[in-house]
Amino acid sequence: MPVVLIVDDVKDVRDLLVRIVKLGGYSTLTATNGREALAAVTAHDPDLVLLDISMPDMDGFEVLQALNAIGDGPPPVYMMTAMTDEAMRDRALGLGAEGYFVKGDFDIDVLLDTLADRLAM
């Protein structure tokens, strides 16, 4: 069963994303910050990462850059944020994120379809 790492500093958001991802039939891991995310990727090699951008200490862009430096490269990363800023989306995609979701403004079915399409590869 594919494993999705959910990285968000807000517990309610993490919990909601865990429930959504499990609806798709996937296992989940969670991290509350960038350092935990990097450790989880190294220790557990998840199949996909849902990564918040705005986090204290180490933001999602810094995490993505650190993931890109890991050996064979990172698992697919989809950035998530509450901001609708196109420049942030472009930056995330430019750094190698495979997609970008705006929290509170995405359809659950679209997220699950994206996971299904990407994890079926």
Report CA-CA distances (Å) from 104 to 37, 68, 98, 108: 22, 27, 19, 10
What is the pLDDT averaged over residues 39-60? 94
The neighbour count for residue 85, using CB atoms within 10 Å, is 11
What would the pLDDT profile of 95-117 be if each residue is shown by its tens digit?
999 999 998 777 899 999 999 99
What is the pLDDT averaged over residues 78-96? 90
Query: Bigger pLDDT: 84 or 78?
Result: 78
Per-residue confidence (pLDDT) for residue 103, from 0 to 100: 85
Taking phi first (over 0 means left), then psi (-120 to 50 degrees means alpha), and beta for anything else, what does residue 45 get?
left
Percent of all residues in the chain with a pLDDT value above 70, rounded to a whole number: 98
Task: Using a cut of 0.85, tell me whether the model's pTM lies above it.
Answer: yes
User: Is the pLDDT assigned to residue 22 strictly greater than 70?
Assistant: yes
Indicate the average pLDDT of the chain. 92
Alpha-carbon span 120 to 104, nearest angstrom: 26
What is the pLDDT averaged over residues 21-40? 96
Per-residue confidence (pLDDT) for residue 121, from 0 to 100: 58
Residues contacting residue 47 through CB under 8 Å, at least 6 positions apart: 2, 3, 4, 75, 76, 119
Report CA-CA distances (Å) from 64 to 61, 67, 96, 110: 5, 5, 8, 22
**Token pair recorded at residue 68:** 């890109």
